[in-house]
Amino acid sequence: MTEALFEIEGLSIDSTRGGARRRIVDNVTLSVEPGELYGLVGESGSGKSISMMASVGLAAAGLDVIGGEVRFSNRRRPAREQRGLRGNLSHGVSLLFQNAKGALSPFLTVARQVERALVSAGFRGHRTSELNELFRVVGLNLRDVGGKYPHQISGGQAQRVAMACALATRPALLIADEPTTALDVTTERELLRFLAETCARREMAIVLVAHNLSLVSEYCRRLSILHAGQVVESGDLGKIFASPLHPYTQGLIAAVPDVDEPRELMPLSGSVWGGPEGIDRCRFSHRCSFVTPTCEQRRPAAIFRDGRDVHCMLYEEIPS
């Protein structure tokens, strides 16, 4: 196993919105190797975006980072130091958001925006040729698209421009937060392919945040699955998909309709946040059909089993 490039350890975040304090990210740990395409999957409200944003110092107002550590290329920092973590954004971490048009300035042509990203990354050299190269890499033509404003281009093109901005800083890690949710499937596939190729060619690691398991299945080798702010299962994608161990992963896989072989769906009951509040407990217990009294007494420990870590009491008693 190679040395990890990016690690989050025991990240916990409370929301203080609406006067009540709620734990929304609970002891999340993950580690990404250099040049790896890593999947982070969860339903909405599972805390996947919030933990990634907090790991680069962008925890939104009303969120209180309680604890945890973030390590990026040998620099270790407590997650509470949000301002300090933001420094990572100019030292090798780039972001890609769901709404690319919203992430681009409506006042500037797209070429100017990529140029700004280059300048802010301290690029010294021939700008036009670097711009040309960046546009070529993301599959656009500087001469055709460069002079346009964001409202004049399509969603897929906007996401590619955002990608060019992200690549301008020559990052070692790209956090792509649902980059294809607003796109059509054919465009989505092209963009994901492109991400996977860039990942391999530039030796850049990517964390692909997605709410859809099928999206990560083709390109990621490892993934983490989040439920209500807790990691439920993480590790080798092939093994997890072939034999999911956590009841939530099993339910999630059974809930995805299959295009090729239609089968009966077995939906999980309830929703992510329907359960009782509380920190030291399994937060899936209200939807789980194997629930035991211990599930509500303490947080399940990570058990290593068959190429993945599973956080479930069921596997604590059974010897591997």
Partner 1 sequence: MNGRPVLSVRKLTKLFFNPARPDAISVGVRGVSFDIHRGEAVGLIGESGCGKSTLGRCLVGLQRPDGGEVAVGETIMSELRGRQLRTFRKAVQIVFQRPETCLNPRMTVFTFVKQAMRNFQTVPSGEERARMIELAELVGLRADTLGRFPHQLSGGERQRVAIMRALACKPDVIVLDEPTSALDVSVQAQILKTLRDLQSRVGTSFLLISHDVAVVRYICSRVMVMYLGVIIEEGPSDIVLSRPAHPYTQALLAATPRLRPKQGEQVSLRGELALDQVIAGECPVRARCPFAHERCKTAPPVAVLPGNQRVACWLAADADTTRPTPSTSRKAFP
Q: Which of 107, 122, 129, 260 binds partner 1 (CB under 8 A)?
A: 260
Nearer to partner 1, 45 or 87 (CB): 45
CB of 34 to partner 1, least distance (A): 24
Contacts with partner 1: how many residues (CB under 8 A)? 39
Compare residues 31 and 180 and give the one whose CB is closer to partner 1. Answer: 180
The region of 8-16, 57-65, 67-75, 180-188 touching partner 1 under the rule CB under 8 A is 180-188
Compare residues 83 and 151 and give the one whose CB is closer to partner 1: 151
Q: CA-CA distance, 91 to 153, in Å (whole number)?
A: 30
User: Considering the complex, what minimum distance in angstroms separates the CB of residue 241 from partner 1?
Assistant: 6
Tell me the backbone φ, ψ of residue 215, rounded to 5 degrees: -70, -35
Counting contacts by CB under 8 A, is residue 259 touching partner 1?
A: yes
Residue from 252, 288, 295, 313 touching partner 1 (CB under 8 A): that is: 252
Contact at 8 Å (CB) between 151 and 110?
no
Among 251, 281, 309, 310, contact with partner 1 (rule: CB under 8 A): 251
Of the two residues 81 and 190, which places its CB atom closer to partner 1 in the complex? 190
Query: Residue 70 CB, nearest distance to partner 1 (Å)?
Result: 28
Selected range binding partner 1 among 93-101, 103-111, 259-267, 289-297, rule: CB under 8 A: 259-267
**Under the criterion CB under 8 A, does residue 20 sit at the interface with partner 1?**
no
Please tell me whether residue 184 binds partner 1 under the rule CB under 8 A.
Answer: yes
Nearer to partner 1, 118 or 283 (CB): 283
Scan residues 36-65 and list those touching partner 1 (CB under 8 A): 43-44
- Contact call for residues 175 and 94 (beta carbons, < 8 A): yes
Q: Is the Cβ of residue 34 or residue 139 nearer to partner 1 in the bound state?
A: 139
Residues forming the site for partner 1 (CB under 8 A): 43-44, 154, 156-157, 184-190, 211-215, 217-218, 241, 251-260, 262, 265-269, 271-272, 274
